[in-house]
A and B are shown apart, each in its own frame.
Chain A
Amino acid sequence: MIGLQGHLKLKIVIPTEMIKGEFHLAIKNNKNKQMKKLMIIGLLALFAAACGGGNSGEKTANHEKSEAESAGGNPSYDPNRGEGKFKSVEVGATLNAPMAEAGGKIYAVKCSSCHKTTEEKLVGPGWKGVTSRHQAPWIMNFITNTDEMINKDPKAQAQLEICLVRMPNQNLADNDARSLLEFMRRNDGIK
Chain B
Amino acid sequence: MKHNQIKLIAAVALGVSLGFIACKPKNVGDAISSDAAAKAYVAPGKYDQFYNFVSGGFSGQMSVYGLPSGRLLRVIPVFSVDPEKGWGYSEETKPMLNTSHGIVPWDDLHHTELSQTNGEIDGRWVFGNANNTPRVARIDLKTFRTAEIIELPNSSGNHSSPFITENTEYVVAGTRFSVPPDNVNGDVPINSYKKNFKGTISFISVSKEDGNMDIAFQIQCPGVNFDLSHSGKGKSTGWFFFSCYNTEQANTLLEVNASQRDKDFIMAVNWKKAEEYIKAGKGRKQSVKYAHNTYSDKTHSATSTIKTEVTVLDAKDFKDLCYFIPCPKSPHGCDVDPTGEYIVGSGKLAALIPVFSFDKIQKAITAKDYAGEYDGIPVIKYESALYGEVKKPGLGPLHTEFDGKGFAYTTFFVSSEVVKWNIQDLKVVDRVPTYYSVGHLCIPGGDTKKPNAKYLIAYNKITKDRYLPTGPELAQSAQLFDISGDKMQLILDFPTIGEPHYAQAVSADLIKGNSVKFFKIEDNANPYVSKGEGTTKVVRSGNKVDIYMTCIRSHFSPDNIEGIRAGDEVYFHVTNLEQDWDVPHGFAIKGANNAELLIMPGETQTLKWVAEKPGMFPFYCTDFCSALHQEMQGYLRVSPVGSTVPLLFSTGKNLPPAEAATAPATGDKK
Contacts and interface: CB of A to CB of B under 8 A. Distances in A.
Interface of A: 16-20, 108-110, 112-114, 122-123, 164-166, 168-172
A172 B521 CA distance: 11
A109 B531 CA distance: 5
Interface in B617-668: 624, 626-628, 652
A109 B604 CA distance: 14
A113 B626 contact: no
Contacts of A172: 579
Interface in B581-617: 582-583
Contacts, number: 64
Contact of B552 (A108, A166, A168): A168
B558 to A, nearest CB: 12
A110 B550 contact: no
Contacts of B452: none
B580 A110 contact: no
Contacts of B628: 164-165
Q: Please list the 5 inter-chain residue pairs (A to B) with the smallest Cβ-Cβ separation, ordered nearest first.
A: A17-B627, A108-B532, A171-B579, A109-B532, A113-B552
Contacts of B578: 168, 170
B111 interface: no
| Contact-size category for B | 20 to 34
Contact of B554 (A165, A170, A171): A165
Interface of B: 518, 520-522, 531-535, 550, 552-555, 557, 577-580, 582-583, 624, 626-628, 652
A123 B521 contact: no
Main secondary structure of the interface of A (DSSP, over half): loop
Nearest to B531: A109
Nearest to A170: B579
Contact of B522 (A16, A20, A109, A114): A109
Given A20-B582, A164-B628, A113 B533 contact: yes
B107 to A, nearest CB: 33
Given A109-B522, A123-B555, A169 B627 contact: no
Contacts of A109: 521-522, 531-532, 577
A19 B626 contact: yes
Contacts of A114: 552
A84 B578 CA distance: 21
Contacts of B553: 123, 165-166, 168
A147 to B, nearest CB: 9
Given A20-B583, A108-B532, A165-B554, A113 B624 contact: no
Contact of B532 (A16, A17, A110): A110
A48 to B, nearest CB: 16
Given A108-B534, A123-B555, A113 B577 contact: yes
Given A109-B531, A110-B579, A17 B626 contact: yes
A18 B553 CA distance: 12
Contacts of A123: 553-555
Nearest to A114: B552
Contacts of B554: 123, 165
B557 A169 contact: no
Given A113-B532, A123-B554, A166-B553, 18 more contacts: A17-B626, A18-B626, A19-B626, A108-B533, A108-B535, A109-B531, A113-B557, A113-B577, A123-B555, A165-B554, A165-B627, A166-B626, A168-B579, A168-B583, A169-B579, A170-B578, A170-B580, A171-B580
